[in-house]
Chains A and B, each alone.
Chain A
Amino acid sequence: MTGSNANDEAAATVPALDVTNLNTMQLDALREIGNIGAGTAASSLSLMTGEPIGMAVPRVSIMPVEEVGNYVGGEEQIVVAVYLQVIGDAPGHIVFVIPAETAHELCHQLMGGMQAGDPDPATGFSEMELSALQEIGNVMTGSYLRAMADLTRMHLEPTPPALGIDMIGALLGSVLAEVSQSTSMALLIETAFEEADMPSFGHFLFVPEPVSLEVVLRSLGLIA
């Protein structure tokens, strides 16, 4: 591979796209991917719970990986996180984070008044709630990814989602350590969900690997 310095334009091996140097149109396209992916995920969840779920306009941010923790903040807030890796044409990482109280409420909606069973002292969630959360994670990350694959006509596959319940700093930090093995700069496509009676809902983070950015943007005709 060539070095990271932009040098000869006619270089045989193209260096990975510089995430710090994207133009407005490219950033807009990435935001749109987040929008469509999360929109699809939100409607899937809506179908499961029977409650309408809205979402904010996605934010696209670029920063050193180790600053993402500070950027998200609230390190000690207890959350449920679903993490998976995207494999295929455009590898990357997806994390879906919901505050613990919201997760309980979602489980309640999903199970339609069924008894949840005794909560596990370590997590605060019952066995049945945990499987419900795993299912929510599967459906949401799956539909996000399918929407993205349809849009870009790429082959994208999720690894089986992993579930974690703890302080957000601990969960996100572990994911970021994983991410930082392949990149020092993270590009975040972040979408916040909202439901009428839940003031703080969840966040969906998609972090493409640096090589994927180029693949994605090329598939959309945004790289010459």
Chain B
Amino acid sequence: MSSTTPTKTPPRASSIKVGLGQLVVSKSPGDVLSALGLGSCIGLTVFDPVTKIGGMVHVMLPSSEISTHSGPDGKYADTAIPALVDQVSRLGGDPSRLVCKMAGGAQMFSGGSGGGSLNIGSRNAIAVRAALQVAGLRLKSAQTGGTFGRTVDIHIATGLVTVRTVGGAVEEL
């Protein structure tokens, strides 16, 4: 990989990885935003069907208040949702029209020390719902919990959101 990657979005379909704690918004019809392998993390997508502006955030933890440690806005549910709404608005999206969907929040480890302490997944799902409510947004659909990882994509051209799991089919969310 060259270190001088061009920053301009190519006109053709391009897949954009939304990593841990990252927040990405787009109005390029060719873009597909992907959160690969969500475990306890949540992939939240928003889409304004009129302007066709969408975004995704990859939330790691429920609240920025439980730790004094910083990080990107997308890392915590309580800061991620306002930041996502703000960025979508700046691109020209209307927050009142946003269709919100989320997936993730699983418990990936079993046995040992995995059961007790690693319940971040369900806490994340609850925190994202709460933060959406605070922002006045409604959740259209969700697929959270379970003990398996998920990859979530949003196609900016159509607003289509898909979820896939290991050994499972691609499902529309």
Which residues on A sit within 8 Å (CB–CB) of B118?
83, 162, 174, 178
Q: Does B92 contact A (CB under 8 A)?
A: no
Which residues on B sit within 8 Å (CB–CB) of A81?
109
CB-CB contacts below 8 Å: B1-25 with A: 17, 19-22
Q: Does A116 contact B (CB under 8 A)?
A: no
Specify which of B60, B61, B121 lies most central, judged by the most chain A CB atoms within 10 Å of its CB.
B60
Which residues on A sit within 8 Å (CB–CB) of B20?
65-70, 173, 176
Whether A164 pairs with B40 at a CB distance below 8 angstroms is no
Q: Determine the distance from Cα of A192 to Cα of B107 in the docked complex, in whole angstroms.
A: 26
Whether A160 pairs with B148 at a CB distance below 8 angstroms is no
Whether B167 pairs with A162 at a CB distance below 8 angstroms is no
Q: Does A171 contact B (CB under 8 A)?
A: yes
CB-CB contacts below 8 Å: A60-111 with B: 64-70, 75-76, 78, 81, 83-85
- Chain B: interface residue total (CB-CB under 8 A): 41
CB-CB contacts below 8 Å: B33-59 with A: 36-41
Whether B150 pairs with A170 at a CB distance below 8 angstroms is yes
- Given the interface pairs A170-B38, A173-B60, the reply to whether A163 lies near B150 with Cβ below 8 Å is no
Residue in A closest to B67 when the chains form the complex, CB atoms = A181
Q: Determine the distance from Cα of A170 to Cα of B121 in the docked complex, in whole angstroms.
A: 11
Known contacts A66-B20, A184-B67; 10 further A-B pairs (Cβ under 8 A): A66-B60, A163-B114, A170-B37, A170-B150, A173-B38, A174-B41, A177-B61, A178-B120, A180-B67, A181-B66
The 4 A-B pairs at the shortest CB distance, nearest first, are namely: A169-B37, A170-B149, A162-B114, A170-B39
Residues of chain B at the chain A interface (Cβ within 8 Å) = 17, 19-22, 36-41, 60-61, 66-67, 69-72, 75, 106-115, 117-118, 120-121, 124, 148-151, 166-167
